Amino acid sequence: MEMNGIAHIQITVNDFERCVSFYEKLFAFFEMKVIFSTPDFYYGVGSRTGLAVSRAAPEHRDARFAQRRIGLHHICFRAREREDVDRVHDFLRSIGATIVHPPEDGSWAPGYYSVLFEDPDGIRLEVNHVPGQGNLAPGIELPKRAYP
């Protein structure tokens, strides 16, 4: 059975209000429609993508996101054009987002270009552009190295 992509990703955050403020801006920039907004849950969809943000349970509120801990490493949104990555970078700078690396070329696929940033809780997000289907193309040989 071939899947039709990922329906949604849900992340859990400590500083829910600050993170929702960040994701409100990001979703608006990405032209994502907010489907649910409650005191503990925020969910937007657009471009065949769903992202939910939920409040951490009280017993986990002192924890901080760690990229190398078991669980989520990062989320990557795929842009339609290389220039969109630069536009995202400019937008992130305008809202004071933490940028881990500005737009740069990568070796993950021919033409790979991306910006890496963090939400207020330090969860890493990326926007990339890969011409054509990139690694999503049938029969493509993936790079033989571990992801940093």
CATH number at residue 9: 3.10.180.10
- Residue ending a domain, among 58, 82, 106, is 58
Tell me, yes or no, whether 104 lies in a domain: yes
Answer yes or no: do 76 and 148 share one domain.
yes
Count of domains forming the chain: 2
Tell me how far CA of residue 5 lies from CA of 18, 49, 80, in angstroms.
29, 9, 16
Residue 98 confidence class, pLDDT cut points 50, 70, 90: very high
Residue type for 30, please? F
Domain boundary among 10, 27, 58: 58
Nearest to 118, CA basis, from 8, 37, 9, 18: 18
138: pLDDT strictly greater than 60: no
**Mean pLDDT on 8-36:** 97
If we measure between CA atoms, which residue out of 71, 78, 83 comes closest to residue 125? 78
Answer yes or no: is 87 within a domain.
yes
Average pLDDT rounded to a whole number, residues 109-117: 94
Would you say residue 128 lies in a domain?
Answer: yes
pLDDT of 32-65, one tens digit each? 999 999 999 999 999 889 999 999 999 988 888 8
Residue-level pLDDT at 69: 85
Tell me: do 54 and 102 sit in the same domain: no
